[in-house]
Amino acid sequence: MSILDWIYLAIVSIGAVLAVVRMVKGPDVTNRVVGLDVFTTITVALFVFFAMIFDRYIYIDVALVYGLLAFIGVLVIARFIERGF
Amino acid sequence: MSYYLGSFLLIAIGLYTVIIKKNLIKIVIGLNFIASGVNLLIVSIGYVKNGTAPIFSKIGINPSAMVDPIPQALTLTAIVIDASELALAVAFVVLLYRHYGTLDIKKIRSLKW
Amino acid sequence: MIRKIVYSIFLATIVLSLVMFFAAFPFGQNKMSVGEYYLNHGVAQTGASNIVTSVVVDYRGFDTLGEVSVLFGAAAGVAILFFVLGENRRKRREQVAPNFIVRVGSRIIFPFILLFGTYIFIHGHLTPGGGFQGGAIIASGFLLLYLAYPGTTVNRSRLSMVEGLAGITFIVLGLYGLLMPESSFLYNFLPKGELNALLSSGILPIIYIAIGFKVAAEFAGIIDDMMCEVICRGGEK
Amino acid sequence: MIYISWILIVLMLVLSILSIQLKNLIAAVVAMGAVSLIISLLFLMLQAPDVAMAEASIGAALTMIIYIIGIRETERSEK
């Protein structure tokens, strides 16, 4: 791993930790749901990063799964909070 | 090493939830944590240092530098089974709530202890 | 209070015994010999480049059949609990219709989710993924449809037909292996092909496609039971 | 790589303790979804992409909807 990778990893880790801090602190459910959404987006970046540094590009499929499906979980809770289904 | 410790503690947290908590949905969440911890433990047993995934999609990859495929194959099906039996457990919880009108296991008469 | 202390001691004992037990298995050292054998001979014997797939479908294919049956049992259990034992007299709550963005966006993204799930289980022997994962992805796509258009219902008879056909495919392919000279259940009788080609490794892709359809149908049935319980069928009873 | 695994495991344990301590059950389910996400990352770091994909496809939406329907039919918070 080069120095650029370490910088990238540090920035992404700080983002993940901040999202978790919001999920721990958040006074309401909606704050926690937004924290989960941010955390999911950051995690997709981490999946692609791991595929790069392990030098196996077929790992990107896992990131595709989360990128395609993660919003459904947030949509479920959002629809429930607004009395959707 | 960190994986072992994390999965032990996750199993302990799940057991604590199942034993101490009174709410039925919380108990189901605890069961889910135990299942996740056991899956993580089994996969981390098969890990080999500096190994790679057991997929021969690249030219010139060496079988001796791969992780063990059997724990992965075991947990792969276990995760799907966990999700389906979670649905069954939630169905039981819903029926218990309709019958007794509460989620507190202290108030459900036949489960008192 | 005393209860919490007693159970904390109990949990500490369990964790301590786990730590002592797993001190015999150092992290990241050597593999088991069975895994070593599968890694060395798996490509020549099954022709699949993903060894996890060849373990799940070929070497331990009978276990997978049992596991799919467990999945069927769980789905049937959810249906029985909700429709036979449950009393459908809950009143309808007032609902808010989904907004424009959700409806149009889900209509656009739904075919892509189906396409991606199909890709995952067709390429199960080449890339990570397979029938279980692809089936779950397709069921998530149906879940999106339920969320965006309340009142959607899937055709249950068609769903059970897909599920039954997939199960029959699995069992017939397995039984056909018994007619081969090396008679064994799930014997790989089709040609292996070359490594990393889509049409390779015999019956493995066919079985994984069957598993994908079966898992997708079962999870869609579970979601249909849970989402639709009152809205779709409660009035009929 | 060892540092990032320690960070992720600590985050996972914090979120699981949060999930069992929260009184609001929907917030508990949200925290559980985050735990499932981190476990999927750990599976990928253990070089198991198949298992990571199974955990991702199950944990992203399906477990969430099952719990939410269970909560919808019963009570929203633990007393």
> Which of A50, A54, A71, A72 to probe the C interface (max C CBs under 10 A)?
A72
Shortest distance between the Cα of D49 and any Cα of chain A, in A, equals 6
Please say if the pLDDT value at position B59 is more than 90: no
The answer to whether position B60 is within a domain reads no
Contact residues, chain B, for A59 at CB < 8 Å? 53
Residue B111, pLDDT score: 56
Shortest distance between the Cα of D79 and any Cα of chain A, in A, equals 17
Please say if the pLDDT value at position C230 is more than 60: no
Task: Please name the fold of domain A3-81.
Answer: Helix Hairpins (1.10.287)
Please say if the pLDDT value at position B12 is more than 60: yes
Contact residues, chain D, for A32 at CB < 8 Å? 27, 30-31
Mean pLDDT, chain B, whole residue set? 87
For the segment C80-136, what is each residue's pLDDT rounded down to a tens digit? 887 766 555 555 566 778 889 989 999 999 999 999 999 998 988 888 888 899 999
Contact residues, chain D, for B56 at CB < 8 Å? none
CB neighbourhood size of B92 (10 A): 16
Residue C110, pLDDT score: 92
Residue D9, pLDDT score: 92
Q: What is the mean pLDDT of residues A10-17?
A: 90
Please say if the pLDDT value at position C165 is more than 70: yes
Confidence of residue C236 (pLDDT cuts 50, 70, 90): very low
Residue B14, pLDDT score: 92
Q: What is the mean pLDDT of residues B90-105?
A: 85
- Identity of the residue numbered C12: A
Query: Domain extents for chain A?
Result: 3-81
Contact residues, chain A, for B52 at CB < 8 Å? 54, 56
How many C×D Cβ pairs under 8 Å? 42
User: In chain C, what percentage of residues exceed pLDDT 90?
Assistant: 18
For the segment A15-67, what is each residue's pLDDT rounded down to a tens digit? 989 999 998 988 888 999 999 999 999 999 989 998 888 888 888 888 998 88
Please judge whether A9 and D34 are an interchain contact, meaning their C-beta atoms are less than 8 angstroms apart. no
Q: What angle do CA A50, C208, C199 make, to 5 degrees?
A: 85
Of C215, B32, B15, nearest to D64 by C-alpha is B32
Top pLDDT among B111 and C56 is at: C56
CATH code of residue B21: 1.10.287.3510
Residue C224, pLDDT score: 85
Q: How far apart are CA C98 and CA D14, in angstroms?
A: 34
Of D47, D52, B70, B83, nearest to C51 by C-alpha is B70
Shortest distance between the Cα of C185 and any Cα of chain D, in A, equals 25
Q: What is the mean pLDDT of residues C176-187?
A: 81
Please judge whether D20 and B83 are an interchain contact, meaning their C-beta atoms are less than 8 angstroms apart. no
> Which residues pair with residue C50 across a beta bridge?
B55
Of B4, C35, B40, nearest to D39 by C-alpha is B40
Residue D69 at interface with chain C, using a CB cutoff of 8 Å: yes
Residue C235, pLDDT score: 44
For the segment C21-33, what is each residue's pLDDT rounded down to a tens digit? 888 878 877 778 8
Q: How far apart are CA A21 and CA A81, in angstroms?
A: 22
Residue A34, pLDDT score: 92
Top pLDDT among A32 and C234 is at: A32
For the segment D13-70, what is each residue's pLDDT rounded down to a tens digit? 999 999 989 888 999 999 999 999 999 999 999 999 999 999 999 988 889 999 998 8
Q: What is the mean pLDDT of residues C27-43?
A: 83
B: neighbours with 3+ CB pairs under 8 Å? A, C, D
Please say if the pLDDT value at position A84 is more than 70: no
Q: What is the mean pLDDT of residues C166-189?
A: 85
User: In chain B, what percentage of residues exceed pLDDT 90?
Assistant: 32
Please judge whether C28 and B11 are an interchain contact, meaning their C-beta atoms are less than 8 angstroms apart. no
- What b/e string do you get for C40-59 counting C-beta neighbours within 10 Å, with b at 16 or more? eebbebbbbbbbbbbbbbbb
The answer to whether position B57 is within a domain reads no
Which parts of C154-194 fold into alpha helices (H)? Answer: 156-176
Please say if the pLDDT value at position C234 is more than 50: no
Separate counts of helices (H) and strands (E) for chain C:
8, 0
Please say if the pLDDT value at position B45 is more than 70: yes
Residue A36 at interface with chain D, using a CB cutoff of 8 Å: yes
> Which of B49, B58, B59, B66 to probe the A interface (max A CBs under 10 A)?
B58
> Which residues pair with residue D72 across a beta bridge?
none
Please judge whether B16 and D35 are an interchain contact, meaning their C-beta atoms are less than 8 angstroms apart. no
The residue written with tokens 């992203």 in the block is: D60
The answer to whether position B97 is within a domain reads yes
Of B11, A34, B104, nearest to D16 by C-alpha is B11
Domain count, chain B: 1
Give the pair of three-digit tokens for residue C207: 């079985």
Please say if the pLDDT value at position B89 is more than 70: yes
Please say if the pLDDT value at position C237 is more than 50: no
Are C232 and C151 a contacting pair, CB within 8 Å?
yes
Residue C75 at interface with chain D, using a CB cutoff of 8 Å: no
For the segment C205-218, what is each residue's pLDDT rounded down to a tens digit? 899 999 999 999 99
The answer to whether position B58 is within a domain reads no
Q: How far apart are CA C131 and CA C58, in angstroms?
A: 14
Residue C214, pLDDT score: 92
A: neighbours with 3+ CB pairs under 8 Å? B, C, D
